């Protein structure tokens, strides 16, 4: 049993939605695949198959909680990575040949097929499933002592492991270089293998989501629910390492629609306990009502506001909160959200860079505004292209 508490939280995000039984069912598949959670900062891997661990050479504790980019290397095509990132931003599937690296540093070509998993009730992206099919050679023939390979790599030479080099005597450095510099293309058989694996995985996730009551589906069954942010904005906000939340002023009672990891750590609540609730749940018996009124008045006036307020954690312990709220506008100038920044008074751990509370508040607000504007501009551009 892994004792790393962070890994425990990562695993819990998967188990909460699909149960331990889904984990066991997926472990029966021989294919190499991973499942990531865009709702967690950095879109980390929350499930990795035994096939993936065997192929990559990593242990499960080295994979969970990490982003897929750790498996890329110096010869990985940047354009392919951008294509995958674009698919994540647009919440769609993608299929592409990709050069990745094992733990021991050896590169290998694979067919990378990824698709989103949607919440059936609200239409938001819950997970991304990515299948990795190694691009294997199909036929070997020897000519003058040099092995020629055909099949999925066509005219290019493509090796799946370092053992292939040892098997061929006199293989020159030029052919070795083709191993990573020449693009390997997947055959129809390999593409069908990836598609079948995706369908089987989605079938398991759909089946076991019924046990939790949080149903998922392979296609978006409804319009993205109000108050839910896109996975691309979620990922951008996850790069901001301060304690803050976004609230939606257009929904009843202005609920939280995004909560940073630092906010969850400060308050002791889980993400599921925070989302869709108004921030007043942090107030308690000794919270000054006049300060709360001041915050509400600033919201009505669509103005920024900074106050010192007594708040309470989940365990009922209190802390003085240096609180800041500010409107956040999208690319059209319309208020999209309000950002609320939480800084515990006197907490030295939040001041490692020597920044004052005011500077930290401005930094968070500025970063959030950039993320929201960029996301709304990208969304508009995508609609224009359709």
Asked, colleague to colleague, whether 5-135+186-217 and 231-385 share their fold, the answer is yes
Q: Indicate the CATH number for domain 5-135+186-217.
A: 3.30.450.20
Residue with tokens 């242990």: 59
pTM for the predicted model, two decimal places: 0.61
Q: At what angle do helices 231-238 and 357-385 cross, to 10 degrees?
A: 150
Confidence bin at 317 (pLDDT 50/70/90): very high
- Give the per-residue pLDDT at 137: 54
39-48, 140-149, 272-281, 313-322: lowest mean pLDDT where? 140-149
The 10s digit of each residue's pLDDT in 114-138 is 999 988 877 788 899 999 999 875 4
- Give the per-residue pLDDT at 203: 94
25-29, 79-83, 87-91, 374-378: lowest mean pLDDT where? 374-378
- Give the per-residue pLDDT at 386: 42
Contact 185, 154 (CB under 8 A): yes
For 231-385, which CATH superfamily applies?
PAS domain (3.30.450.20)
108-122, 256-270, 323-337, 371-385: lowest mean pLDDT where? 371-385
- Give the per-residue pLDDT at 155: 38
Gap between the Cα atoms of 237 and 256, Å rounded = 14
* Overall average pLDDT of the 63-67 stretch: 90
Distances (CA, A) of 293 to 65, 252, 296, 322, 335: 40, 18, 5, 16, 21
Contact 338, 247 (CB under 8 A): yes
* Overall average pLDDT of the 163-179 stretch: 40
The 10s digit of each residue's pLDDT in 257-308 is 999 999 999 999 988 889 889 999 999 999 999 999 999 999 999 999 999 9
Q: Using the predicted structure, report yes or no on whether residue 217 has a pLDDT greater than 70.
A: yes
In the chain, what are the domain boundaries?
A: 5-135+186-217, 137-180, 231-385
- Give the per-residue pLDDT at 141: 40
Return the HEC string of the chain.
CCCCHHHHHHHHHHHHHHHHHHHHHHCCCCCCEEEECCCCCCCCEEEECHHHHHHHCCCHHHHCCCCHHHHCCCCCCHHHHHHHHHHHHCCCCEEEEEEEECCCCCEEEEEEEEEEEEECCCCCEEEEEEEEEECCEEEEEEECCEEEEEECCCCCCCCCCCHHHHCCCCCCHHHHHHHHHCCCCCCHHHHHHHHHHHHHHHHHHHHHHHHHCCCEECCCCCCCCCCCCCHHHHHHHHCCCCCEEEECCCCCCCCEEEECHHHHHHHCCCHHHHCCCCHHHHCCCCCCHHHHHHHHHHHHCCCCEEEEEEEECCCCCEEEEEEEEEEEECCCCCEEEEEEEEEECCCHHHCCCCCCHHHHHHHHHHHHHHHHHHHHHHHHHHHHHC
For the chain, what is the mean pLDDT?
81
Which residue, 231, 229, 262, 232, is CA-closest to 246? 229
- Give the per-residue pLDDT at 331: 83
Confidence bin at 227 (pLDDT 50/70/90): low
Gap between the Cα atoms of 228 and 122, Å rounded = 8
Cα 386 → chain centroid: 25
Q: Which of 2-11, 82-91, 178-187 has the highest mean pLDDT?
A: 82-91
Token pair belonging to 292: 């709360």
The larger pLDDT score, comparing residue 159 to residue 233, is at 233
Gap between the Cα atoms of 230 and 257, Å rounded = 11
Gap between the Cα atoms of 341 and 357, Å rounded = 10
73-77, 153-157, 215-219: lowest mean pLDDT where? 153-157
* Overall average pLDDT of the 9-32 stretch: 85
Cα 193 → chain centroid: 25
Q: Using the predicted structure, report yes or no on whether residue 151 has a pLDDT greater than 80.
A: no
Token pair belonging to 345: 């008074």
Confidence bin at 356 (pLDDT 50/70/90): confident
Residue with tokens 């890329």: 72
Q: Residues of the chain with pLDDT > 70: what percent?
A: 78
Q: Using the predicted structure, report yes or no on whether residue 139 has a pLDDT greater than 60.
A: no
- Give the per-residue pLDDT at 223: 53
Q: What are phi and psi of 171, to 5 degrees?
A: -75, 120
- Give the per-residue pLDDT at 6: 56
């Amino acid at each position: 049993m892994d004792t790393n508490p962070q890994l425990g939280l990562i695993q819990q995000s998967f188990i909460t939605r699909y149960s331990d039984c889904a984990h066991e069912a997926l472990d029966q598949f021989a294919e190499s695949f991973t499942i990531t959670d865009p709702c967690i900062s950095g879109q980390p891997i929350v499930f990795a198959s035994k096939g993936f661990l065997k192929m990559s050479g990593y242990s499960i504790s080295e994979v969970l909680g990490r982003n897929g980019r750790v498996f890329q290397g110096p010869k990985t095509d940047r354009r392919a990575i951008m294509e995958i990132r674009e698919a994540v931003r647009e919440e769609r599937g993608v299929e592409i040949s990709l050069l990745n690296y094992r733990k021991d540093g050896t590169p290998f070509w694979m067919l990378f097929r990824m698709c989103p998993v949607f919440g059936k009730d609200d239409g938001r992206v819950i997970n991304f499933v990515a299948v990795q099919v190694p691009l294997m050679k199909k036929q070997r023939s020897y000519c003058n002592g040099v092995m020629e390979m055909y099949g999925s790599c066509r005219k290019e030479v493509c090796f799946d492991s370092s053992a292939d080099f040892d098997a061929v005597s006199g293989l020159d450095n030029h052919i070795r270089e083709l191993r990573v510099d020449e693009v390997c293309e997947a055959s129809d058989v390999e593409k069908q293998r990836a598609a079948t694996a995706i369908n089987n995985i989605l079938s398991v996730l759909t089946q076991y989501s019924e046990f939790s009551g949080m149903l998922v589906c392979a296609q978006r069954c409804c319009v993205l629910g109000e108050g839910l942010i896109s996975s691309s904005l979620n990922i951008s906000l996850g790069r901001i390492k301060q304690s803050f939340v976004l609230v939606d002023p257009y929904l009843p009672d202005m609920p939280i629609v995004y909560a940073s990891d630092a906010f969850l750590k400060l308050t002791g609540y889980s993400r599921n306990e925070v989302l869709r609730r108004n921030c007043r749940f942090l107030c308690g018996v000794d919270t000054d009502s006049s300060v709360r009124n001041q915050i509400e008045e600033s919201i009505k006036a669509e103005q920024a506001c900074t106050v010192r307020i007594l708040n309470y954690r989940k365990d009922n312990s209190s802390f003085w909160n240096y609180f800041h709220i500010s409107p956040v506008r999208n690319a059209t100038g319309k208020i999209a959200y309000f950002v609320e920044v939480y800084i515990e008074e006197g907490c030295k751990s939040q001041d490692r860079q020597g920044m004052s509370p005011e500077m930290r508040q401005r930094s968070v607000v500025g970063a959030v505004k950039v993320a929201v504007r960029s996301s709304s501009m990208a969304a508009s551009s995508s609609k224009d292209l359709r």
